[in-house]
Amino acid sequence: MPASSLNSASLALSYGHAEAGLVEHSGGVTVALANPVLDGPADETWVRLAAGGSRHGSLTLWHGDDGSRWGAASVVVEPGSLAAAAERVYREIFQAQGHLTLQRIWNYIPRINAPCGGHGQDRYQAFCGGRARALQASGRDGAGMPAASAMGTPGDVLTVLFVAGTDPVRHVENPRQLPAHRYPARYGPHPPSFARASLVSRPDGARRLYLSGTASIRGSESLHPGDVVAQLSVALENADLVARAAGLTGGLGAGGPGARRLRLYLRRAEDWPTVRPMLDAHLPRAGDWLSVIEADICRPELLVEIEACVDTA
């Protein structure tokens, strides 16, 4: 293949599709999700690919042209097998990871709030159980995991996207939230495992902050059930605290124009006009990239979650 067409191949996370799946095409690969787009771009291009994908079990793996490694699974979950599907995907991620460091993981969990297994558990908790078993099987504890998001998605497909690399990564916590792997058992028998953010340092001194899905949680408790405006305010505060804890002076506002990409997830599409003025007030800069996606949040009382990627020189 001529270098020019290799250079144009890219990996994008893309919302608003009739069906979820990995779509390889002449322009690269699209990780397609069925969540509706409420505003802003439907696609987020993450990296230019240096080569075509290779298979590893349920994963497809790619090399980014910047040395990063990307992998994705998009698997149909048969009834009753969400935990097993999550365990399989995570076991394969840990195998594929080799000597690389995980930087960021996105999880899209079909019908995330639906009951599961009849012991008062829901599907998010089942997903956490499968992920916990894979962690245990690979001899890890939850403490070393990178930034992540775990969102609901319509249909029956579990989608997991991750990026790993050789650059140094510092995982960051929020001083006002309990680390997720230490959540008490009332949020589920197997706590989630992710860092609030992961800061990647490039050889040229540039840094990238991957900010996890961030909700209205303090300590381990959900604040302001049912109040989307108050929830967004806490989520934005949390995001800012984490960005500052990562050393970004200026918090979530760090970096020059175009340095920040932000995604807002809303459980209820009708809340977008309500919260839009708040976001406009928090994102006053030209060049800010904002995508608004309809998605269920992992706890039923939560209505909004934000995630971000901030590049600084």
CA pair distance 172, 262, nearest whole angstrom: 18
CA pair distance 193, 115, nearest whole angstrom: 21
Site for ligand 3EB contains 217 (CB under 6 A): yes
Q: Does 44 participate in catalysis according to the annotation?
A: no
Site for ligand 3EB contains 215 (CB under 6 A): yes
- Find the shortest distance in angstroms from Cβ 220 to ligand 3EB: 8
**Closer to ligand 3EB by Cβ: residue 103 or 149:** 149
**Closer to ligand 3EB by Cβ: residue 176 or 244:** 176
CA pair distance 269, 271, nearest whole angstrom: 5
Site for ligand 3EB in 61-80 (CB under 6 A): none
**Closer to ligand 3EB by Cβ: residue 9 or 306:** 306
**Any idea which residue has 């300590």 for tokens?**
219
**Closer to ligand 3EB by Cβ: residue 17 or 104:** 104
**Closer to ligand 3EB by Cβ: residue 123 or 207:** 123
Burial 47-60 (b: 16+ CB within 10 A, else e): bebeeebeeeebbb
- Find the shortest distance in angstroms from Cβ 256 to ligand 3EB: 27
Site for ligand 3EB in 155-184 (CB under 6 A): 180
Pattern 131-150, binding to ligand 3EB, x per CB under 6 A?
-----------------xxx
Of the CA atoms within 13 Å of residue 94, those in its CB half-sphere come to 19
How is 126-147 classified by DSSP, letter by letter? HHHHHHHHHHHHTT--GGG--E
Which of 238, 230, 253 minimizes the C-alpha distance to 175?
238
Contact with ligand 3EB (CB under 6 A): which of 15, 70, 194, 210?
194
Which of 177, 269, 197 minimizes the C-alpha distance to 228?
269
- Find the shortest distance in angstroms from Cβ 196 to ligand 3EB: 8
For the chain, where are the E strands, in sequence order? 10-14, 21-25, 28-32, 37-39, 43-48, 54-56, 59-63, 69-76, 101-110, 147-153, 157-165, 169-172, 197-201, 207-214, 217-218, 221-222, 260-266, 289-294, 304-312
Please tell me which residue in 87, 92, 294, 305 is annotated as part of the active site.
305
129 in Cβ contact with 83 (< 8 Å): yes
Contact with ligand 3EB (CB under 6 A): which of 71, 129, 152, 192?
192
Site for ligand 3EB in 239-298 (CB under 6 A): 298
**Closer to ligand 3EB by Cβ: residue 53 or 104:** 104
**Residue 291, Cβ neighbours under 10 Å: how many?**
20
**Closer to ligand 3EB by Cβ: residue 162 or 194:** 194
Residues 6+ apart with CB under 8 A from 120: none
Using CB under 6 A, which of the segments 8-16, 58-66, 208-216, 283-291 binds ligand 3EB?
208-216
Site for ligand 3EB contains 195 (CB under 6 A): no
Site for ligand 3EB contains 153 (CB under 6 A): no
Of the CA atoms within 13 Å of residue 78, those in its CB half-sphere come to 2
Phi, psi values for residue 287, rounded to 5°: 90, -10
Site for ligand 3EB contains 116 (CB under 6 A): no
How is residue 45 written in tokens?
């291009």
Using CB under 6 A, which of the segments 41-49, 72-80, 81-89, 209-217 binds ligand 3EB?
209-217
Contacts with ligand 3EB by CB under 6 A lie at 107, 148-150, 180, 192, 194, 212-213, 215, 217, 298
List, by residue number, the catalytic residues: 305
